[in-house]
Amino acid sequence: MTRILYLHGFASSPASSKARYFRDHLENAGARVDVPDLAAGDFEHLTITGQLAVIDEVAAGDAVSLIGSSLGGYLAALYAARHPEVRRLVLLAPAFAFARLWSASLGAEQVEEWRRTGSIEVFHYGENRNCRLGYQLLADAGRYEDYPDFSQPALIFHGIDDDAVPVSSSREFSAGHPNAALEVLDSDHQLLNALDYMAPRIARFLIES
């Protein structure tokens, strides 16, 4: 049976509508789908390194395929670049260059304030409330490459109207990686209006016949 890990986005959870949609669709198509809590119950101390450790623990050395949304897409790419046993990837508006993206969106003054105070308040969509987030996320993210150089086959879907992660980042990545096929959709960062379009394509791509 094909085994798939779905990696949710930043400040999201395994209970997100997108995670539940893809888990149901892919399980109905015959796959086993796991959706780990990438924060492992400790959002305040979130890091890229810690999230990769969660993926590694859940994958347990199996030949898994990965679906990642936004930050989950960047994590999927990082993990695949370090784990050749990963079979295939689907990246949904992947947050490539995460550290640079965040620094640019916050601005130098707010980044410095975050560093000085040690934490900021961000809205957590999974919990529907503001939560504290430590500066270690940005500091740790700076250790990782902007564009992970994985060689496995990949599909990338990105909305043309994405105002959170520029579609140019996926275009830049796919231009240098012939193993990754990019499809730009008439959608935004969430891609919610494209779920029914993407789901059968993703199932055909990931699930072994």
For 53, residues 6+ apart whose C-beta sits below 8 A from its C-beta are none
Whether the pLDDT of residue 209 is over 80: the answer is no
**DSSP letters along 18-32, please?**
HHHHHHHHHHHTT-E
Residue 140 falls inside a structural domain: no
Q: What is the pLDDT of residues 5-33, one digit of tens each?
A: 999 999 999 999 999 999 999 999 999 99
Residue 141 falls inside a structural domain: no
- pLDDT at 127 (0 to 100): 87
Residue % of the chain over a pLDDT of 70? 100
Residue 119 falls inside a structural domain: no
Q: What is the pLDDT of residues 33-77, one digit of tens each?
A: 999 999 999 999 999 999 999 999 999 999 999 999 999 999 999
Whether the pLDDT of residue 108 is over 80: the answer is yes
What is the pLDDT of the chain when averaged over all its residues? 96
Residue 143 falls inside a structural domain: no
Task: Return the bridge partners of 120, or none.
Answer: 133
Q: What is the pLDDT of residues 150-159, one digit of tens each?
A: 999 999 999 9
- The one-letter amino acid code at 4 reads I
Give CA–CA dist 130/17, Å, rounded.
19
What's the total number of domains in the chain?
Answer: 1
Nearest to 22 by CA among 11, 9, 10: 9
Scanning the structure block, which residue is given the tokens 């400040």? 11
- pLDDT at 85 (0 to 100): 96
**Cβ-defined contacts of 43-47 (< 8 Å, 24+):** 43/11, 43/124, 43/131, 43/133, 44/119, 44/131, 44/132, 44/133, 44/134, 45/134, 45/136, 46/133, 46/134, 46/136, 46/137, 47/136, 47/137, 47/140, 47/141
Domain range for residue 55? 3-96+149-206
- pLDDT at 53 (0 to 100): 98
Q: Per-residue confidence at 188, pLDDT binned at 50, 70, 90?
A: very high
Q: What is the CATH number of the domain that holds 26?
A: 3.40.50.1820
In contact, 9 and 20? CB cutoff 8 Å = no
pTM over 0.95: yes
Three-class DSSP category at 14: coil
Residue 181 falls inside a structural domain: yes
Residue 183 falls inside a structural domain: yes
For 159, residues 6+ apart whose C-beta sits below 8 A from its C-beta are 93, 167, 184, 185, 186, 187, 188, 189, 190, 191, 194
Q: Per-residue confidence at 117, pLDDT binned at 50, 70, 90?
A: very high
Residue 162 falls inside a structural domain: yes
Scanning the structure block, which residue is given the tokens 């990686």? 177
Give CA–CA dist 23/32, Å, rounded.
8
Whether the pLDDT of residue 111 is over 90: the answer is yes
